[in-house]
Amino acid sequence: MVARDESDVVTKPSPRSVADTVSRLTELLDARGIKLFAVIDQRAEARDAGLQLRETVLVIFGDPTAGSEINLLYSGDGGVTWAPPLKLAAYTTAEPHHANPAMALTQDGNRLLVSYYVQQIDERLRTDIARLRVAGNHLRLEGVDRLSSTAFNLTPSNNPFPVPGNPFLTLSYDLGFTSCYDIGEYQSIGVSRRPGDTSGPIVAAWGDNRRTWTSPSDSTAPGTHAQADVFSRRLDDEE
């Protein structure tokens, strides 16, 4: 596990309501071409678990121009002030792309887990999971672990298949799916909803192409190649 510390916190008061602040923020992200992954109403999540929490909103986004990074934006006071973006997964030469995150809070609202895909320089994918603590008005990244036990290839999901009237048509090797749909069910992560249960269970699932499939000779992608599956892993017994 790689431990990291985010000690510098900058807060900026907002004169708007929580809803207006979040709306304005997401508009700014869109205007600047920054990918918005999710907006999490933490008070609603706490209410569903039978807990009381002031208005608290978590916005997760990434900047496509920075090599598909993943950043977290957090407010612990209902959007009045915001912690600076926490770079959860940074662009590097060895790991240029990070995408499709899923996130979940533990039942007590003190721990946050985020799983996501990493595309390595060899173009193979893997899944990682980040563990964070809610610390006042900011998030503290405690570490990042590998979620999948191995990296895997993309499936042949964008194969040229020109036809009259559409010379640029592409098809997946699996005609039941649209072209470029590759990693199945993407990411999901869930924690226990039982009142008072702060330790588990925590289960993560993701689309995984480590297994292979041999397509017939008349397929759009004949031969042996990666096959999409869904894998899962229970995490609470590792804490």
Q: Are β-strands 187-191 and 202-208 bridged in parallel, bridged antiparallel, or unpaired?
A: antiparallel
DSSP classification of residue 32: T
Mean local confidence (pLDDT), 27-35: 83
Residue 38 confidence (pLDDT) = 76
- Range picked from 120-129, 134-143, 177-186 for highest mean pLDDT: 120-129
Distance CA 74, CA 116 (A): 18
Q: What is the pLDDT of residue 222?
A: 93
**Tens digit of pLDDT for each residue in 223-238?**
999 998 999 998 864 4
Band of residue 1 on the pLDDT scale cut at 50, 70, 90: very low
Does residue 3 register a pLDDT over 50? Answer: no
Q: Stretch 53-71: mean pLDDT, rounded?
A: 77
Question: What pLDDT is stored for residue 110 in this prediction?
Answer: 82
Which tens digit of pLDDT belongs to each residue from 101-129?
Answer: 998 888 777 888 999 999 999 989 999 99
**The two structure tokens encoding residue 7:** 């000690």
Residues near 166 by beta carbon (within 8 Å), at least 6 away in sequence = none
pLDDT at residue number 5:
44
Instruction: Over range 20-31, report the average pLDDT.
Output: 87
Do 129 and 114 meet the contact criterion of CB atoms below 8 Å apart?
yes
Conformational region of residue 162, where left means phi above 0, alpha means psi within -120 to 50, and beta covers everything else: beta
Distance from C-alpha of 107 to C-alpha of 121, rounded to nearest angstrom: 37
Q: Which positions ≥6 away from 130 have C-beta within 8 Å?
A: 88, 89, 113, 114, 115, 116, 141, 143, 144
More confident residue, 118 or 45: 118
Q: How much of the chain exceeds pLDDT 70, in percent?
A: 88
Query: Where does 161-228 show beta strands of DSSP type E?
Result: 170-171, 187-191, 202-208, 212-215, 223-226
User: What pLDDT sits at residue 26?
Assistant: 87
Domain boundaries, the chain: 18-238
Considering only 75-89, 97-111, 184-198, which range has the smallest mean pLDDT? 184-198
pLDDT number for residue 127: 95
Residue whose token pair is 């040229």 = 160
Summarize pLDDT for 146-164 with one digit per residue, the tens.
999 999 999 998 888 888 8
Phi and psi at 92, nearest 5°, equal -140, 165
Residue of 89, 98, 129 lying closest to 236 (CA atoms): 129
- The yes-or-no verdict on residue 45 having pLDDT over 50 is yes
Q: Tell me the mean pLDDT in the region 162-179.
A: 84
As a whole number of angstroms, the distance between CA 173 and CA 158 comes to 8
User: Would the pLDDT of 17 be above 70?
Assistant: yes
Residue 97 or 108, more confident: 97
